[in-house]
Structure 1
Amino acid sequence: MSDATPTPTATPERTQLPVQSPPVDPAETAVAGDKAASRGRLSWWRGDNGDGVKRNLGLIGVLAALILVGAITKPDLYDDPTWVWNNILAILQLASVVGVVTVGMTFVIIGGGIDLSVGAIVALAGVWCTTVATQSYGAAGMIFTAIVVGICVGLVNGVLISYGRLVPFIATLAMLVAARGLAASISNKQTQVSSSTFINDIAARKVLGIPILVYILGAVVVAGWVLLNRTTFGRRTIAVGGNPEAARLAGINVRRHTMLLYALSGLCCGIAAIMLTSQATSAQAAMANLYELDAIAAAIIGGTLLSGGRGTIVGSLLGVIIFATITNLFAINGLSIEAQNMVKGGIIVAAVLVQQFQFKSFTRLLARNRLTTTT
């Protein structure tokens, strides 16, 4: 007998087959994709972008209400399509100069500042570009002078605020007084008539039935929208206005950017000075009176926060058109300017109250009360 033990035979290992997932129903995949897309659209509508769209839609609703009031009070005028079209062009032309100033003001407010000197800058640029010495260089010299004067005064504001550490309210208020005084000194308190045919024809001419001033407003608004929404400058403006310290820590030169914002506001004032000089064919130290209040009010109506960090160019434009429509509505109904100013003041107060009233907080409060009641 042999003591050898039989060697065990090796058993083949079982191969683990991969677990197959159940077949995917294309219909269920499509439904899930639609639900995800719907949630994405809903979150966009509830976010900051949706808030801007909702504000603009609300402003369009206000415009529609004003037009309805005009149609009710003056049905004989609104029944004439030709008059309606001419009236729309008149409103846009009325809003053009203030609209250009408002674009610059919107940038300044979004950046966390304020500019009370825009009306005085418009007057100073208009007076300076209509002096005899400046007009001797022709229309190009007048336009160049107005723009350079606006930018330089804006830079002075920016330097005082950024590097002089003055409060924007105080710095621009001082500039308001100083610029008006300098304009009165240059013009010797007289009205200076523009002798440039090219400048004077800017307000008189039309292209395709639309005044050139409206085209200028449209070009400035488009440029401002692109600058705010599609460039690094615009993103930095929102960052500086929202949280200057965080913007500084992120590497943004807050002082230089603030200075550039006021220079941009001065540039818009220089353009507005040419437009206003063209409308009146003259310039004087008292021109563009209270334009700063109109620009600030239009920006606030359009959804720009006074504390900075949020605002839209389209909203500001709608705010300007709303105020121009109110002025037009009061004019065709023969109402006084005093009543018009009271209505404007009420609209400004209402807009600020709407900004401070947080609808989301209110809905959360209602939801919390509802949950407490259910419990």
Structure 2
Amino acid sequence: MNEPSPTSEARAPEAPEAHPPARPEPSRVVRLLFEGGIGRNMGLVAVLVLLAVVGVVTAPQTFPTASNLLTVLTSASIIGVLTVGVTFVIIGGGIDLSVGKVMALASVWATTVATQSFGALVMIFCALAVGVGAGLINGVLIAYGRIVPFIATLAMLISAQGLAELISGRRSQIVTDPVIAAIASTRILGIPLLVYIFAVVIAVGWVVLNRTTFGRRTFAIGGNPEAARLAGVDVRRHTVLLYVVSGLCCGIAAIMIASLTTTGSSTHGTLYELDAIAAVIIGGTLLTGGRGTLIGSILGVLVFTVITNLFVLNNLAIEVQNIAKGAIIVVAVLIQARARRSSTT
């Protein structure tokens, strides 16, 4: 008998490989709603509608009036401007705890007797310069000094608070310049000028974030800074610019709050940084960076402002208001974590 050659040996048929069932691709509508952020924004709009219903039921004589609506928008405008800058920083993978006290420092510096003697333009320039300068220091410490953003901006918060108290002697400085004082009282078509300033900052921020190379690089750095570096992005320089943008927003907000309160004070902006960060979080921006929407952040500001307005109109304790805000933040973070786990499975 001839022995079979090695090449002609019979082999047992191999079992077909088991492949997991292919997951259906999400539809275009689903991708648009959830990957593009529209779904999250619509959820915040639904929350605003629910809060409006609560306001109409609990305070029917005051909440649904035009004057109260303008009060809400005016209250949201200052924190909203700060939130625009914070959104850029967090999308870029950072954090800025100093925005409230940098705004206070800018308001104090712009309202000293010496500064006011030079007129409104110099006051505005000083406020913007202080904000940009503080942002530049934050950015350099973080990008080139390699200090953790939390620590660097916390140090700036403390330093700005101390410097504001030193300059003002812990006293409120009265705004005597009529041009600055008139900003908050001026209305165009019945809407306060502060709201228009807020809208312009939102529009410019949205265009920069979504329609420019600067915005694309911000998302890239927040998502994966090493990949962005290998793609040719100067990560350190861009990080500095993100904190400069945040500082610029602080300078704008300083002029707004100085006009609204007719004072420059070291007490301005207390805990504003927490409100701004909370608004960014519930607006859908990831704390780890790389994903977020400016419109979502602004809707977050409006949610918190309406909640505050409802508590004031119904004479409820500030402690309960803070508990409600904290609960909203926790729920928003849990939703983010669940969404990230779902996207990676």
Q: Same fold (TM over 0.5)?
A: yes
Distance in 2 between the 1:170 and 1:360 partners?
29
Matches within 5 A, 1:134-145: 134-145=115-126
Distance in 2 between the 1:234 and 1:45 partners?
24
In the TM superposition, residue 286 of structure 1 has moved relative to its aligned partner by 1.3
What secondary structure does 1:75 align onto?
coil
What secondary structure does 2:37 align onto?
helix
Conservation of the 8 A alpha-carbon contact between 1:102 and 1:316:
yes
Distance in 2 between the 1:363 and 1:63 partners?
30
Conservation of the 8 A alpha-carbon contact between 1:96 and 1:213:
yes
Structure having the higher Rg? 1
In the TM superposition, residue 76 of structure 1 has moved relative to its aligned partner by 3.8
RMSD: 1.9
Q: 1:70 aligns with which of 55, 58, 62?
A: 55
Q: Which residue of 2 aligns with 1:216?
A: 197
Q: Which residue of 2 aligns with 1:239?
A: 220
Distance in 2 between the 1:224 and 1:123 partners?
22
Conservation of the 8 A alpha-carbon contact between 1:203 and 1:278:
yes
Q: Answer with 255-264 or 196-205: which moved more.
A: 196-205
Distance in 2 between the 1:360 and 1:352 partners?
12
Distance in 1 between the 2:344 and 2:117 partners?
64
What residue identity is the alignment partner of 1:173? Answer: L
Distance in 2 between the 1:91 and 1:77 partners?
12
Q: Which residue of 2 aligns with 1:205?
A: 186
Taking a change above 3 Å as real, the CA distance of residues 352 and 40 of structure 1, as seen in their structure-2 partners, is closer
What residue identity is the alignment partner of 1:334? Answer: N
Taking a change above 3 Å as real, the CA distance of residues 122 and 41 of structure 1, as seen in their structure-2 partners, is same
Are residue 161 (structure 1) and residue 146 (structure 2) matched? no
Q: Which runs of 4+ in 1 moved over 6 A?
A: none
Taking a change above 3 Å as real, the CA distance of residues 41 and 358 of structure 1, as seen in their structure-2 partners, is closer
Distance in 1 between the 2:244 and 2:166 partners?
24
In the TM superposition, residue 283 of structure 1 has moved relative to its aligned partner by 1.1
What residue identity is the alignment partner of 2:92? Answer: G
In the TM superposition, residue 86 of structure 1 has moved relative to its aligned partner by 1.4
Q: Where in structure 1 are there 5+ consecutive unaligned residues?
A: 1-38, 365-375
Structure 1-normalised TM-score? 0.83
Distance in 1 between the 2:103 and 2:343 partners?
43
Q: Which residue of 2 aligns with 1:52?
A: 37
Q: Deviations over 1:51-73 (max 9, x none)?
A: 40000100000000001111121
Distance in 1 between the 2:270 and 2:312 partners?
19
Are residue 269 (structure 1) and residue 250 (structure 2) matched? yes
Taking a change above 3 Å as real, the CA distance of residues 183 and 206 of structure 1, as seen in their structure-2 partners, is same
Matches within 5 A, 1:66-145: 66-77=51-62, 84-145=65-126
Are residue 294 (structure 1) and residue 275 (structure 2) matched? yes
- The count of residues paired between Structure 1 and Structure 2 equals 322
Structure 2-normalised TM-score? 0.90
What secondary structure does 2:153 align onto?
helix
In the TM superposition, residue 205 of structure 1 has moved relative to its aligned partner by 1.3
What residue identity is the alignment partner of 1:263? Answer: V
In the TM superposition, residue 330 of structure 1 has moved relative to its aligned partner by 0.5
Q: 2:299 aligns with which of 297, 318, 328?
A: 318
What secondary structure does 1:346 align onto?
helix
Distance in 2 between the 1:345 and 1:333 partners?
20
In the TM superposition, residue 190 of structure 1 has moved relative to its aligned partner by 1.1
Q: Which residue of 2 aligns with 1:5?
A: none
Q: Which residue of 2 aligns with 1:25?
A: none
Conservation of the 8 A alpha-carbon contact between 2:62 and 2:68:
no
Distance in 2 between the 1:255 and 1:181 partners?
28
Q: Which residue of 1 aligns with 2:240?
A: 259
What secondary structure does 1:339 align onto?
helix
What residue identity is the alignment partner of 1:167? Answer: V
Conservation of the 8 A alpha-carbon contact between 1:44 and 1:50:
no
What percent identity do the matched residue pairs reach? 59
In the TM superposition, residue 357 of structure 1 has moved relative to its aligned partner by 0.8
What secondary structure does 1:334 align onto?
coil
Distance in 2 between the 1:176 and 1:359 partners?
31
Are residue 151 (structure 1) and residue 132 (structure 2) matched? yes
Are residue 187 (structure 1) and residue 172 (structure 2) matched? no
Distance in 1 between the 2:27 and 2:339 partners?
19
What residue identity is the alignment partner of 1:67? Answer: A
Distance in 1 between the 2:152 and 2:134 partners?
12
Distance in 1 between the 2:257 and 2:60 partners?
32
Distance in 2 between the 1:327 and 1:290 partners?
14
Q: Which residue of 2 aligns with 1:24?
A: none
In the TM superposition, residue 204 of structure 1 has moved relative to its aligned partner by 0.9
What secondary structure does 1:215 align onto?
helix
Conservation of the 8 A alpha-carbon contact between 1:94 and 1:324:
yes
Conservation of the 8 A alpha-carbon contact between 1:77 and 1:84:
yes
Q: 2:262 aligns with which of 278, 281, 292?
A: 281
Q: 2:211 aligns with which of 211, 227, 230?
A: 230
